[in-house]
Amino acid sequence: MTSLFLPSIRVAAFLALTLPMMPVQASLLAMKSPWARYLPARYHRLCCRIFGIHRACHGVRSTHRPTLFVSNHVSYFDITILGATLEGSFVSKAEVGRWPLVGWLARLQRTVFVERADRIGAARQRDEISTRLDHGDNLILFPEGTSSDGIHILPFKTSLFAAADDSRVMVQPVSLVYQRLDGIPLGRFYRPFFAWYGDMTMWPHVWVALGMGQLMVAIVFHEPVRLADFGSRKALSEHCRRVIGEGVAAALGGNLAASTPLAVSPALAAQ
């Protein structure tokens, strides 16, 4: 299931796509073109093809603007997978903005960077999120604050649900599940090759992951809700964590269809 040459081929194809695309997106942002919203999704879909990632979408994606999409976090591939599926910007920890290349790409997708230890800057960060929501921008949030092993859901950080305080914001929980490798269920042996967590070193992990075969990922859209339905961020956070966890467990157990009451969107699944 691994290849010595595949990582080099995929990296070369990724750079051949990315480097010319970066100045295009930068120009669209400078001109405040509406295409700056839509180009990243198309870019990420091409990246999925390069990386051998196939997406199986279940449920119905919220079309309300603005929507805060709340997902569990498994790997750096999550950005490409959700970026290919949703037209929105990510909320990310500030250190990502300082990473080579990754930080530049994040800024070109208008990522909102959050310095969680910066209490003084918290108000400014909330203002930036509010401004984005005022313009009808969707945001994508990983409330665990870090990535996990893809099986267990870590505790959610309630403070990250501040964007949901706005009554206009719809919140949609999303379960992200790495299911199969070359058509075979992704068991405990192969899962760490994709899930990036703990003290794993990033770039060697990326190289090994890029040498694997074709990956199937399930994306489960759960029923959208509002903060007003729960009365507090804590209650909303607990609801999202429970629903997302149930979706992950159902997908891993092969019971996804039975546990997902929302109809599958043919248009979405075809993307």
Weakly modelled stretches of the chain, pLDDT under 70? 1-3, 116-124, 257-271
pLDDT reported for residue 261? 40
pTM of the model: 0.89
Where does residue 172 rank: exposed (0-12), middle (13-18), buried (19+ CB within 10 A)? buried
pLDDT reported for residue 165? 85
> Which residues, 6+ apart, have CB-to-CB distance to 38 below 8 Å?
87
pLDDT reported for residue 265? 35
SS3 (DSSP) at 129: helix
Domain ranges of the chain: 6-269
pLDDT reported for residue 44? 97
Residue 256 vs residues 145, 180, 239: alpha-carbon distances, Å:
25, 14, 19
Structure tokens at 224: 């959208």
pLDDT reported for residue 135? 84
Q: What's the angle, vertex CA 269, arms to CA 174 and CA 265, rounded to 5?
A: 75
**Sign of the alpha-carbon torsion through 14, 182, 83, 149:** negative
Does residue 79 contact residue 53 with C-beta atoms inside 8 Å? no
In CATH, what number does 6-269 get?
3.40.1130
